[in-house]
Amino acid sequence: MSIARVEARVQPARSGDPKRVGPYRIIGRLGSGGMGTVHAGLDPAGLRVAVKVIHSAYAADPEFRARFRREVQLSARVQGPCLIPLLAADPDAETPWLATAYAPGPTLDQHVAAHGALTGGTLYAFATGTAQALAAIHAAGVVHRDVKPQNVILTPAGPRVLDFGIAHAADGTSVTRTGVMTGTPGWISPEHYRTGTAGPEGDMFAWGTLVAYAATGRLPFGTGAPDVVAYRVMSGEPELDGLPDELREPLTKALAKSPAERISADAAAEECARLLAGQATQVLGTDAGPGPEGVGDCLTTEWSLPGVADPAWHLPAPAFRKRALITAVTTAVVAAAVTAGVITFHNSGHRGDADLTSEGTASSAPPSGRAAPLATSATTGSGKPADTTAPAADPRTIRIPTDPLAGVPDPAYTRAGEETQPHPDEWRSSTTADTPEERDAAKTIHDRMLSMLATKDMDFMRPTITFNQRAQTVLVTGGPVSQLPEDHQDVFRRAGEMAACSTLAHRLENDPTTWPYGRFSVHWKTSDGDLDAAALGFGEATDGCVAETAGQWHGDEFGMATAEIPSSDKAEIRVADATVKAILATWNANTAETNEDALTVNDGISLGFDPVESAAYIWTDDPNSRFASRASQSNLKGAVETAVCRKLTGEFNSDKSWSYTRWAVAVHEAYTGTRQFVGSGTCTP
């Protein structure tokens, strides 16, 4: 059930329905589906909202909650014309929920069934508005995945696209975890049928189908059995008879079989806006159409659909005020998106500060150190004053942020401390370096990674560096490489994380007001060019780039696994051989008077290098429990530190390109099969 797809009128509430959800008073139902129930609600100022409450069966699934939370956070960044904004959400409530603005009007399929296809300026306004909405969604690193007539509402002020981001989390319209293709036949792209790929190009294929349906009342690939429709989509040509000639070119580009040949949402919005302006000049009888800043006004002017009133939303108002009230509410909720480019609610700071408790009710007290917002005068649908005191805050609630990049030509990094995991769509929407600063950062990351990988004979794993400014993230991608050992992929991940982290940290330190990238993620591609899985690794440059505790570096199993991969670097091989001999000599000299057994090369002392964190790892088998006691472990640590630091600093003094300054030593107990780190540190050159 869509968050905003509704019947013609508000339905009565049923037994067991909540009276309040968060700060919203529930007055009825808008609909119900497999994932949840959508309620009609009013905020403290009397503005109408749609509140989706997830069914309890899904609320008990931790994996669903995690997916739901990620999608809420991602969708909160999507703002733009012809979209319905996410107002608030609490994925950690006992019953998770989210709220959006309410958009009055029928869905496109309902309108076509009742009144037929769209025509004239209304059709061009529909094509323009829906393309603008997808452009905003794609710019935020989101892929809609479910563009179809049921997900577009025809409001009195223009079309509104529903369910961006949320559709994938709550209603799964791509390949499910069991590998079953879901979605509506006729609205699935050719590549989605073939491989399950769902990117921005797939949205544009669906957009072409959507506009063709709006213009003709027919699906361009027909109807029938799902496999028959799928065959037509993958192999047949679309039926576009009845489509205005001017729209044929952008729709033909959108319906191309190859994703690479399709028109982008930005280009489609620009081309359709030009056609819309042409319609306006014909009506006005002028030679020049409106400029880019006038497209919103032009869309509103050319849009010609009747308004929708639903008296169930509010109590009867005096006759002389009723018409003005409907107009005011519709304008506040919907029309502002066209002229301002984004729908917002600012009722005493309500949009950003509608703080919600994890139980889904308004909290009664503000957190310590924060004063409760003051009440302001407002009017409800009944004409009576409304209580607009904002609920107090609860730190567990996800706030819905404004777009950190809105209107900022050279934005600084603004997502510090955000723990949102990278979304595959951020990778799919990323682009190659564009500015000189981006190109320099990409080269630095690339070169640093190759330097690390080359020491293990892995420089065939050449990384690709891309940027997603909307997500403020640099993405490092490798692959595809057939039959790649798992430990090699892990080395690639660690090298990517280290190179990206150090490069971005340096940039943030030197250009804090103009450098927008502070997050990074590392990915691996499959043979078909899509992601192998979720990000291999991700992080934030402000977290630091080396695992240190109180200034002390510590070795770990990841570094040990990398060190165990044989080196192909001649200098490393030479230093490793000399260092092992020095460790043996130091141990035997220090223990000669304690009657401890002497060590030889045959005792299994090994040394390898981890180029990711510039560390030498030393490990030894201990079949006779020689190093079981703390005293013997301390002696081993002392012998290693003395010999290793002497060799590492000596190499650095003769070769300034030598980067290894850290060391760690571990003992492998043969009987238990466990490995214990007994010491680590950093040498001072």
3-state helix, strand, coil in the chain (%, to 5): 40, 15, 45
> Rounded distance, CA 420 to CA 327, Å?
39
Question: Listing from the earlier edge strand, what are the strands of the sheet with 20-21?
Answer: 20-21, 24-32, 36-42, 48-54, 97-101, 86-90
* Residue position matching structure tokens 């805050």: 393
Segment (H or E) for 72: helix 62-75
- Find the length of the chain: 685
Q: Decide: 534 and 421 in contact? Cβ < 8 Å.
A: yes
Place of tokens 């293709």: 181
- Which one is catalytic: 43, 90, 146, 403? 146
Q: Are 452 and 567 in contact (CB under 8 A)?
A: no
| Residue 200 CB neighbour total at 10 angstroms | 22
Would you tell me how many other CB atoms lie within 10 Å of the CB of residue 615? 28
Q: What is the DSSP string of 460-525?
A: TS--EEEEETTTTEEEEEE---TT--HHHHHHHHHHHHHHHHHHHHHHHHH-TTT----EEEEEEB
Task: Please give the radius of gyration of the chain, using alpha carbons only, rounded to the nearest integer.
Answer: 31
C-alpha torsion sign, points 670, 675, 676, 677: positive
d(CA 665, CA 645): 13
DSSP for 203-248, written as a single string? HHHHHHHHHHHHHHSS-TT--SSHHHHHHHHHHSPP--TTS-HHHH
Residue 146 designated active-site = yes
Residue 390, both tokens = 């904002």
Looking only at the bridges linking them, the beta strands covering 97-101 and 48-54 are antiparallel
Q: Which two tokens stand for residue 648?
A: 């590492």
At 155, is the secondary structure helix, strand, or coil?
strand
Please choose, from the candidates 370, 355, 472, 469, the residue with its C-alpha nearest in 3D space to the C-alpha of residue 418: 472
* Relative orientation angle of helices 120-139 and 295-302, to the nearest 10 degrees: 140
Active-site annotation, residues: 146
